[in-house]
């Protein structure tokens, strides 16, 4: 195979993967510098981006409701960031199985 073909194939795969990403580590990292209320609003906005009809890789509406409720119960920015990273890891099949998030709805994985 030619190197140009391989480059095109890699670009195609990367574009497909990028289109299935609802939010990234950078999005969650940006929350860490905010105050608690702003962090909650930002995380809820990120979760809203995962809604059916908005995202190419949507979440179950029950999961979205559950996550928004979890965000509202967070008592610190650290909790909000932790929830965001747990969502990213769970989406890749690497969620923390010892946490309530990782065991609450096993059918979502």
Per-residue pLDDT of the chain (109 residues; tens, 9 = 90+): 567 777 776 666 555 444 556 777 888 888 889 999 999 999 999 888 888 877 777 888 888 899 899 999 999 999 999 888 888 777 666 566 655 555 555 544 4
Question: How many CA atoms lie within 13 Å of 70's alpha carbon, on the beta-carbon side?
Answer: 21
- Give the span between the Cα atoms of 68 and 65, in whole angstroms: 5
Q: For the chain, give every domain's residue range.
A: 3-108
pLDDT of residue 22: 74
pLDDT of residue 85: 85
Instruction: Look at the pTM and tell me if it is higher than 0.85.
Output: no
Give the residue carrying structure tokens 């909000």.
80
pLDDT of residue 10: 67
67: nearest Cα among 101, 91, 98: 101
């Amino acid at each position: 195979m030619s190197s140009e073909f391989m480059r095109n194939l890699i670009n195609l795969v990367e574009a497909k993967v990028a289109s299935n990403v609802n939010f990234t580590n950078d999005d969650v990292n940006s929350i860490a510098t905010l105050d608690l209320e702003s962090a909650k609003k930002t995380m809820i906005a990120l979760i809203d981006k995962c809604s059916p009809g908005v995202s190419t890789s949507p979440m179950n509406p029950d999961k979205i409701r559950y996550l928004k409720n979890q965000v509202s119960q967070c008592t610190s920015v650290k909790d909000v960031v932790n929830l965001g990273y747990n969502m990213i890891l769970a989406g890749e099949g690497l969620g923390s199985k010892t946490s309530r998030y990782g065991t609450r709805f096993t059918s979502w994985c």
